[in-house]
Amino acid sequence: MEMAIATSVSVEARLAKIAQMPADIDAAIIRIEHLVRSAWTCLGADGATLVPRAFHGSTPLVPPSGLHAADLETFLGVLSHALPHRHPEEIRVASFAVLCGLAELVHEELGAARVQALITALEATDA
């Protein structure tokens, strides 16, 4: 996905930085939940379809039944049940795959400007 968006830093490098996870499983779960909340909020109504689709297309981290969550809280509930059984490194790798998949979906369906807005919102999650 060699997609650069009006910056000198590639989208992939920015997403890799965002996808870094703490070594503690509880902290990693909290972090990914914050990233999902941020992405869903940034994308608005589109988040209800794009975020679960990004998980479905990128990782088996979430059971297929949870990928049809109609709202953010339901989807976060699915994550909170699925993630404790994973290793923090698995969550980190999966988060990078999901973020890349989400950026691709957003680019295809909503355009490059929305990808930039999404990445900016995700980077603000770190602040």
Q: How far is CA 45 from CA 31, 67, 111, 124, in A?
A: 22, 16, 15, 20
Give residue-wise pLDDT tens across range 50-76.
Answer: 999 999 888 888 777 767 777 899 889
For the whole model, what pTM was predicted? 0.87
Closest CA to 3 of 95, 125, 106, 93: 106
Q: Where are the beta strands (DSSP E) in the chain?
A: none
Q: Each residue of 2-17: pLDDT tens digit?
A: 444 444 468 889 999 9
The pLDDT tens digits for 74-93 are 889 988 888 898 888 888 88
Neighbours of 53 (CB within 10 A): 15
